[in-house]
Amino acid sequence: MPKFLFLFLMMTMVCCSDKGSKSHHPLSKKSTNSFYEKACNFLDQDRQDSAFVYFDKARVHFLKKNDSFGVGKSLINMAIIQEAAGDNFGSIETSLSALDYLKANNPAHHSFLYSNFNNLGVASNNLKNYQDAINFYEKALTLTKDPIDQLMIDNNLAIVYHNQKKYGKAVGIYKKLLDSLESGSEFYPKLLLNYSRSQWYRNPLFDPSKNYHQSIILSQKNHDKWTVDAAYAFLSDYYLNKNADSARFYAEKMLTLAVELKYPADQLEALQNLIKLSDGQKAQRYFDRFSKTQDSLINSQNKAKNQFALIRFDSEKAKADNLLLQKEHNVHEYKMERQKLIIWFLVLIFLSVVAGAILYAKRRKERLLVEADKKLQQQRLDFSKQVHDVVANGIYEVMMTIEHQNDLPKERILDKLELMYEKSRDLSYNRREEIDFKDQIFSLISSFDDEHTKIVIIGNDNHFWTSIDPAFKLELFQVIRELLVNMKKHSQSSQVILRFVKDHDGYSINYKDNGVGISGLTTEKNGLANIKSRLSGMHGTFEKLPSHSGLVFRIYWENPEK
């Protein structure tokens, strides 16, 4: 940052602050917008990037509440943060956007418009658009009657005149301001520095060093390190071509203080003078340090500009939203009523769909249970018919053979009986294959599925049950029923998942619900001991797995074909 510009920015931030507030920004923390309050807290912590983000969130919130004044205040703060980060073009754009939300004929808006025009002047001066800066400062002057605010704007105008090399105008303003203040004022040492510098530029024979030292003494009494830092910069510049030792001395003091203040722009300025005043390896060390600090500052500014640019992208949308909010009240009310009717209509449709879905699911479950029962009855009838056809008819054939063939050899009779035995055994095997055990499991589980408890079944297919011994199937049927009975009695679950898994190593049935868990239940009461007893005969295991809520069990037994 140029030496002279430091005081200008410092004065601007004072100019944009609330009276008696720590915040560097114009808005009071008394707000119903929590985003805005959080942004102010970030400002107090000097976390400018976070403050910018939350001022933008506050802006959006104010838009939703039809609070144009709140939108304008948020944008002003965002613009001031952008200017402080070196994003002058972005700051001007945001400040101009804020003007759309504030009214010059409303006295309650004047203090914020004053801060906004002052910020526009700051950014324009930074970009060397001096005439624009003067115009903005003059507009700011019309919006305040506060002597301190007027003093700040006059100071900023004097700085613009100095930058235009109109040193006489600048000196005249500074002298008038100094005459209006007591030496004990916090602004006096700042104005004394500015006055002395412009006077020196106007008349090279003028010696400003005495005033610079006086400013340092007064600032140290006020614990104002920033003004002391500026005075060191001015002294180093003054002695640069007059006394190299003095210039180097004040440049080193400025560098030390700028590091303490964590202000890289002034570090660069001090390092520039030290490079000029040094030679050999010392100059190289200063140059290396200058390059490193400059790269860091540029990267930081670019990062901030990019971040601000992404958030500013929403500004145009905010303008459009604000225009919609300014439509006539009757049109707005009409749209709100129409929206309410549409919402109620959609709610009715949604409730109808939900009711239809529940009714459909209930009827489907009933139909599936009836179908499963019919299928089971049909399987029993089919099996009875096969017993009659295969066993009864076969026995009758043997009886007839023995009755009508008295001399029938014993071996022939044994052969026929053995054939009957084979057919009976095949019939038994066929029965095990034909009865669809997955349907029995499905029917069992479905009987526990109702409007309060949704049961999800995964993997209950023929592939899982094909290789399992029929006796094991019956045991597993009872185990699953025990789990579901315990669930109904104790868990208060609204959702249950049963997953049947078969792999190379073995079989597992995984049970999970979202109920109250197993706390307070005993194995005697919930049937878990019975489950373990059944599984022990299958060489299977039953274990409870850890879960944040509900119950998770795993039933496992090895694949006998492995």
Q: Are 297 and 275 in contact (CB under 8 A)?
A: no
Mean per-residue pLDDT for 279-308? 82
pLDDT at site 233: 93
How remote is the C-alpha of 258 from its chain's centroid?
A: 36
Looking at residue 454, the DSSP 8-state letter turns out to be E
If DSSP codes are grouped into helix, strand and coil, which group holds residue 556? Answer: strand
pLDDT at site 492: 83
Q: How many CB atoms neighbour CB 183 within 10 A?
A: 10
pLDDT at 61 over 50: yes
How far is residue 88's CA from residue 95's CA, in Å, rounded to a whole number?
10
Nearest CA to 120 out of 151, 160, 166, 162 is that of 160
pLDDT at site 518: 65
pLDDT at site 358: 92
More confidently predicted of 167 and 316: 167
Q: How far are the Cα atoms of 4, 10, 306, 446 from residue 206, in angstroms, in the given order?
A: 18, 26, 45, 101
CATH number belonging to domain 437-558: 3.30.565.10
Mean per-residue pLDDT for 199-216? 94
Nearest CA to 133 out of 150, 152, 156 is that of 156
pLDDT at site 522: 45
Nearest CA to 449 out of 478, 484, 489 is that of 484
Q: Are 175 and 199 in contact (CB under 8 A)?
A: no
Average pLDDT, the chain: 81
pLDDT digits (tens, 9 = 90+) for 433-472: 445 788 888 888 887 887 888 999 999 988 888 888 888 8
Q: Strands 495-502, 454-458: parallel, antiparallel or unpaired by DSSP?
A: parallel
Mean per-residue pLDDT for 259-288? 89
pLDDT at site 386: 57
How far is residue 26's CA from residue 103's CA, in Å, rounded to a whole number?
16
Say which residue the tokens 């910020």 belong to: 119
pLDDT at site 11: 40
Q: Are 518 and 551 in contact (CB under 8 A)?
A: yes
The region of weakest confidence among 28-42, 146-160, 254-268, 482-496 is 28-42
pLDDT at 85 over 60: yes
pLDDT digits (tens, 9 = 90+) for 356-401: 889 898 888 888 888 877 877 777 665 664 564 456 545 645 665 5
pLDDT at site 532: 81
Per the structure block, which two tokens stand in for 96? Answer: 């101009």
pLDDT at 204 over 60: yes
pLDDT at site 123: 93
C-alpha neighbours within 13 Å on the C-beta side of residue 336: 9
pLDDT at site 427: 61
pLDDT at site 313: 64
pLDDT at 317 over 50: yes
pLDDT at site 415: 60
CA torsion, points 370, 371, 375, 377, in degrees to nearest 10?
20
Mean per-residue pLDDT for 494-515? 89
Q: How many CB atoms neighbour CB 263 within 10 A?
A: 18
pLDDT class of 403 with cuts at 50, 70, 90: low
Question: Residue 47: phi, psi to the nearest 5?
Answer: -105, 80
C-alpha neighbours within 13 Å on the C-beta side of residue 82: 31
In the chain, % of residues over pLDDT 70? 77
Positive or negative torsion for Cα 54, 56, 58, 60: negative
